[in-house]
Amino acid sequence: MSLSLFGTDGVRGAPGRFPLDAATIARLGAALAEEAGAAPRIVIGRDTRESGEWIERLLAGGIRSAGGAAVGVGVLPTPAVAFLAARGFDAGVVISASHNPVPDNGIKVLTRAGEKASRRHEARIEARVAAARERGSAPPAPVAPASDAGLSDEYVAHLAAVLDGAPRLDACRVAVDCAHGATSSVAPGVLRRLGIPVVAVNAAPDGRNINVGCGSTQPAALQRVVVEQRCRLGLAFDGDGDRVILVNHRGEVVDGDGTLFVCARHLQAAGRLASNSVVATVMSNIGLELSLRRAGIAMHRCPVGDRNVRDEMRRRGVCLGGEQSGHVIFSDRLPTGDGLATGLEVLRVIAETGWELADLTAGLETFPQQLVNVRVDAQPDLDDVPGVRSAVRAAERRLGDRGRVVVRYSGTEPLLRIMIEGPDP
């Protein structure tokens, strides 16, 4: 019997209902441990959602039932758990629904290299869970994982190294919006440790306020704070801290496309842009592609999802890639997006050039882009839906080579996303 648990970014859903019901979570923990080898050690981190500890105990029970040891590090960003997984663990798990609304939660599986599990790896886990259900055996009982909160210090030291050798930043005030999520207990402290003045907002999680009117998807509050507090930079994280949206000193939003442009140009100038190329997704603005081309930098597109970005980067030997939504990967540091590390990289560019972010993005052309999300009850293949592909082709003919239409399903929510862009509003 086949079983579908994983979407484009792990398992997502409402806690208590399939695929995040107690039995499935516990069996998933056991399957993960079985896939990780003999007597595996598995690190577990979570965001601030109130259902996180319940899911953690179920996973830990499943892991123990299969002969593994679960080590809980508490609330930590996804990239922190990825970093730790690659330092002495056999696998990692993040309990988070990222930018999704509060009622949702999710489970992301990481390999011993700190990478998100491949689709093939996820399929093997699904097969094990399906087999356990088919046998009808009782799911493992929940247990508390062993706790080692001190492991987070290793991640903090890793972040601090991003600014090694950079000019002083003690006059560069930074505002951070932690989305009441996983970066709340990390980002302000890391910046202060580096001598950077910090204004922190939305950093008081209560289990029910993650992503509510704040963070990378709703940066309006941060924009006001940056202007009112005269900050040079604002950093808006999502709930699990693997993406960041920037705000310049004027209070203007700079998305992941802008971050890619700034970092690519800086790496190019330093002779450190591998293959003189970057990777972006089909959702990145065509203006980014044209602006990079004028600078002598090639841009390669891939499907949406930071796992797809990572795979394409590896295939092309590229060190920088990302998504418009704010996932940016510096492969020489970590094989996944890290919002805080990305913010520090941009701070390094500001410090080394002496320019404001607004100046650094001045050469980036952006075409008007409209995104519409349509809620759907099912996701049939779009090729099987009458009229969709012909309508897209007709629109593309009208736009020519200076515009695009992208129609795709969300991999994390029941939405059909329709994006259109061109040189004219």
Active site residues: 98
Phi, psi of 279 (to 5 degrees): -115, 135
User: What region does 389 belong to: left with phi over 0, alpha with psi -120 to 50, or beta?
Assistant: alpha
Q: Which residues of 199-227 are buried (b: 16+ CB within 10 A; e: fewer)?
A: bbbbbebeeebbbeebbbbbbebbbebbb
Secondary structure (3-state) at 60? helix
User: CA 129 to CA 405: how far, in whole Å?
Assistant: 38
Question: What is the Cα–Cα distance from 308 to 282, expressed in whole angstroms?
Answer: 11
User: How far apart, in Å, are the Cα atoms of 80 and each of 43, 44, 46, 267?
Assistant: 11, 11, 10, 24
- The sheet that has 404-409: what strands, in order across it? 369-375, 415-421, 404-409
Is 142 in contact with 26 (CB distance < 8 Å)?
Answer: yes
Distance CA 339, CA 209 (A): 20
Q: By C-alpha distance, which of 263, 372, 374, 375 is closest to 320?
A: 263
